[in-house]
Amino acid sequence: MKTAMTIGLLLLTAPIAGAQPTKSVDRTVALSPTGSVTLVAHNGSIEVRTWDRTEVQIHARIEAGGTWPADVRRFDQTTVDIQSTPDSVSIRSVYPAISAWGLWFGNNPRITYTITAPQTARWKIDTHNATADIRGVHAPLTVETHNGRVLVSDLDGPLQVDAHNGSVTADLVSFRGAEFTSHLGSVELTLPSLTAFNLHADTGRGGVQSDFPLTIRTVGRRQTSVDGAVNGGGPALRFNSHRGELRLRRK
């Protein structure tokens, strides 16, 4: 009896031979040019691109977190939920819940998203343990990231980012206002050289570096504050951080 139980336990915990299993989700849905896209993603990567079509094309590749039976079971139960109306699209990674005993068996799969949406669609992205590469959005963009890296390029719209243990790099076509909240992370923002804005920055145990002329005030060793107009002033650029760095670059 003891031998049978031991063999059963070995079968339960032994890795499954072969490559890690994968599966894909592909869907295209209609969206108005000024509609909204919301994405909630964990454990993977996000690639956002734009086009002039009135639709959103979604491709998600799901890869098991390992080859152990518990990893494969979590893979089998992982899905991507897509909800859409003519004016909004919601995309969410859905992982299996923890067990009735409050235990979590196996590793969550990695989901790689490639999404193309109307150029003027509004975006809200919430990521955890994921990287995001967002290009060509000409509308408001809001990103919340935890333990991730965010790269934004060719943005023409207001930007709002809340980053915890992550880095943000953003290159803007024009400046229409931005707000950053950062904890243990860095923000690098590249703007056209003639951009006019008002900067309000407050960082504890962090710092501000700028290619634009600014007056930077340091209080003791822990607090750095900046409050001033650049090129005569304009939309607000706000940066609030704990142990975070803001770097302003001009092009």
**What residues does 86 pair with on adjacent strands?**
none
Evaluate if residue 232 carries a pLDDT over 70: yes
**Cα–Cα distances in angstroms (integers) from residue 128 to residues 75, 145, 167, 211, 237, in the given order:** 18, 6, 13, 31, 25
Q: Give the C-alpha separation, 12 to 81, whole Å.
A: 30
Mean pLDDT of 32-40: 98
The pLDDT score that the predictor gives to residue 199 is 94
Reported confidence tier of residue 26, pLDDT bands at 50, 70, 90: very high
Q: Give the C-alpha separation, 82 to 38, whole Å.
A: 10
Return mean pLDDT, the chain: 88
Q: Give the C-alpha separation, 170 to 243, whole Å.
A: 19
Query: Tell me: the pLDDT tens digits for 95-140?
Result: 988 654 445 678 889 999 999 999 999 999 999 999 999 999 999 9
Query: Tell me: the pLDDT tens digits for 151-209?
Result: 999 999 999 999 998 899 999 999 999 999 988 889 999 999 999 999 999 988 778 89
pTM of the model: 0.88
- The domain locations on the chain are 16-133, 140-251
**Cα–Cα distances in angstroms (integers) from residue 6 to residues 17, 65, 75, in the given order:** 20, 26, 26
**In degrees to the nearest 10, what's the CA dihedral of 116, 117, 118, 121?**
-140
- Count other Cβ atoms within 10 Å, centred on residue 85: 13
- Count other Cβ atoms within 10 Å, centred on residue 24: 11
Evaluate if residue 90 carries a pLDDT over 70: yes
Structure tokens at 75: 């893979």
* CA-based nearest residue to 121, from 94, 93, 145, 86: 86
The pLDDT score that the predictor gives to residue 99 is 54
Structure tokens at 90: 């919601």
